[in-house]
Amino acid sequence: MTDQQGSAIDERCQYCTFPLTQSKSVFQSIFVCHSCTPEDGQLLCLCQACADHCHADHDGLEYVGMGPCYCDCRQILVGCRIETESDREAKRLLNGRPCLSQKPSTNRPLTSVKDSRLFSLIEGKELADRLQLQTQTLVKHSKETFWVDPSLDPLELSELELLAYTILDGHCQRYSLKGYGAEWWVQVKNVSSQRASGEVRTLDNASEAVDLHYDKDETIAEKFGIGVFPLISTVTYLTDSGDAPPTVVFSKRYDQPEDETISEMLLSYPRQGNHLVFDGRLLHGAPANHSLRRPGVGDNRSYSNIRVTFLVNIWDMECKPVGVERLPHSIRQHLISDTAKEPFPLSSEKFTSQSGLFAESIHLNDELSIPEALRQRIELPFLGTTTTWESASDDGSTTFVVTFPPPIAAQSDLLLVSFGPGMEAYVENDSSGDEEEPSLVV
C-alpha cells in the first residue's frame, strides 16, 4: 500500500477489531497478507488497523473488499503489534458490557424501508412551538447527543428530555421491547426559499442539508472501523417548513455489497408534529437538492424559515453508544427556566393507539414513464468517507446516484418511490483522484 493509503486507514480506525468481535464474523474491510502466509497455508483475514500497523510494509498485502470476517492477525507468525493497546481500548469502551460476539441476535421490529411509519405525535401548535424554542436554547449551550432510559425520574426532566423519554417508552410498548434506552439530539437548520425573484433556484445550500449517513456508535466506528447501529431511528418535526428538505431514507444497509443497486427511496416531508420511524440500519439524511423538495401544497399553513427536528435513536442498553451521557443538570436548568413547569401533555399510549401512516407509493418503472424534460440523475453527498467505511485502497471519491424527477405534487407527507430495472440508485466511484466529498446519485 502507498503511504497515502496507510494514512487514510490510520485516520479511520486505530485498533484491531478482534477484541470487539472475537471469532464472530462482523462486516468490515478485509485484507490478506500473502507475505505472512506459508505457500501451503490458508490465507487469514486482517482488519484495516492491522493492515496498516502490522502489514503496511509487506509487498503481499492485498485488499479483498468489504464483508463479514474477524481479524486473525494475532494468529499469524509475526503476531499483532497492536494487540495489547487494542485489548485495553476495547475493555475501556465496553466498560463491562459484552463484546459483539456475546450479543444474541436482535429480533428487529423494522427490517426494510417499507416498514417505516409516520405518526401524528404532537397535536396542537402550542406544544410544538414551545419545544422548538427550547431546541434553540439547547443548541446555544451544546450540540452533543444525550441519553435517556427508564431509570430516570420523569419529574426531574426538561420537556425535551420528556419528549425523548416518551418516544422511547412508546416504542418499547408498541414493539414489546425491554432493556432499551435512547440517544437524542436536535437539529436547527435554516431554510432558503425554493424560488427567489420568481425564478427557481438551482444551487443547493449546504447549510440546509443533513448529508446522507448511517446512525451508529461514532466512537467505535472511528476507533475500530466497525458499525454498531441503533434498533430504531426516529425524526420528529417541530416546525412546518414548506420549502425544507425532506428526510430521505434508502433501502440500503451498511452490510450490503457496494455494487448492489438501490430500488427504493422513502421521502418524509416536514409537517409540524409528525413523527417518522424507520430501521436504524438504513442510509438516510435530508439532502439539500431542490429536486427532492415538494412544491407548495395549497394549504393555509404558515411556514417557518427554519427546519427544526428532534432525533431519537433507540438502542439496546448493552450497546449504548460510547460517550453519550445524560443531559447535564446545568443545561437542563436553562431549558426548564424557559417554560412553566406543567404536566407534559404527551403519553406513550399514543404509540399503541395509532397504526401510523403508510407511504403513498410512486413507481418509476422506466425512463419512458417520466417526461423527457424531467429525466435526470442527481448526486447526493455523503457526510464523509467514514459513513460507508470505504477501503483506503479505493482511489477517488464515491457518488450515490439516483434517478428522480423534480418535485412531485403529492398530497401525502410520506412517499415511497420504487425504481424499476435500470432506474435504481447506485454507488459510483470517481477515479479522477479529486478530493471531493463522497456522494450518492439518484
pLDDT in tens, 373-393: 556 777 777 664 433 343 333
- The last residue of a domain, from among 356, 386, 415: 356
User: Is position 70 within any domain?
Assistant: yes
Is residue 41 located within the same domain as residue 122?
no
Average the pLDDT over 311-327 and give the result.
95
User: Is position 418 within any domain?
Assistant: no
Spatial neighbors of 71 by CB under 8 A, at least 6 apart, are 16, 17, 18, 21, 45, 46, 47, 50, 80
pLDDT band at 425 (very low <50, low <70, confident <90, very high): confident
User: Is position 266 within any domain?
Assistant: yes
User: Is position 252 within any domain?
Assistant: yes
User: Is position 405 within any domain?
Assistant: no
pLDDT at 9: 34
Question: Quick count: other Cβ atoms within 10 Å of Cβ 168?
Answer: 27
Is residue 327 located within the same domain as residue 250?
yes
19-23, 53-57, 193-197: segment of lowest average pLDDT: 193-197
Is residue 34 located within the same domain as residue 172?
no
User: Is position 441 within any domain?
Assistant: no
Is residue 171 located within the same domain as residue 95?
no
Is residue 210 located within the same domain as residue 327?
yes
Is residue 54 located within the same domain as residue 146?
no
Identify the helix (H) or strand (E) that includes residue 63: strand 61-69
CA 222 to chain centre: 15
- Quick one: what percent of the chain has pLDDT higher than 90? 50
CA angle 40, 44, 46 (to 5 degrees): 150
- The last residue of a domain, from among 68, 102, 136: 102
Is residue 76 located within the same domain as residue 193?
no
Is residue 62 located within the same domain as residue 130?
no
Is residue 56 located within the same domain as residue 129?
no
Which CATH number characterizes residue 296's domain? 2.60.120
Output the CA–CA distances (angstroms, integers) from residue 244 to 271, 272, 280, 441, in the order listed.
10, 12, 23, 20
pLDDT at 37: 79
User: Is position 188 within any domain?
Assistant: yes
Please give, one letter per residue, the 3-state secondary structure of 70-112.
CCCHHHCCCCCCCHHHHHHHHHHHHCCCCCHHHCCCCCCCCCC
Is residue 166 located within the same domain as residue 304?
yes
pTM: 0.87
- Domain coverage including residue 339: 113-356
Instruction: Report pLDDT digits (tens) over 166-177.
Output: 999 999 999 999
Number of domains in the chain: 2
Residue 117 pLDDT > 80: yes
User: Is position 262 within any domain?
Assistant: yes
How confident is the prediction for the chain on average, in pLDDT?
Answer: 81
Spatial neighbors of 156 by CB under 8 A, at least 6 apart, are none
* Secondary structure class of 252 (helix, strand, coil): strand
Is residue 274 located within the same domain as residue 248?
yes
- The last residue of a domain, from among 317, 338, 356: 356
pLDDT at 396: 45
Is residue 211 located within the same domain as residue 283?
yes
